[in-house]
Amino acid sequence: MAKQLSCRDMSVDCPWFGVAETVDELLKGAAEHSAAVHDAKDIPHEMMESMRRAVKEA
Ligand SMILES: [Zn+2]
């Protein structure tokens, strides 16, 4: 079962979504996207936890 997370899941108006085999891999991709596109280089721990909770089965 793949994992999926999108910016819209995080109430960010952005068409990006990521799919990965594991949550950790997915969050890594989301962090890279956030750094590149949303200028969020240091994502706070609480934000990472809400992202982790927003992950869906794809
Ligand atoms: Zn985005």
11-46 residue pLDDT tens: 999 999 999 999 999 999 999 999 999 999 889 999
| pTM for this predicted structure | 0.90
CA of 43 to the centre of ligand 1 (A): 13
User: Which residues are in the CB-under-5-Å shell of ion ligand 1?
Assistant: 7, 14, 16
CA of 33 to the centre of ligand 1 (A): 6
CA of 25 to the centre of ligand 1 (A): 16
The two beta strands, 3-6 and 56-57, are: antiparallel
Give the C-alpha distances (Å, rounded to integers) separating 37 from 14, 25, 40: 9, 18, 8
Going edge to edge, which strands form the sheet with 17-20?
A: 17-20, 3-6, 56-57
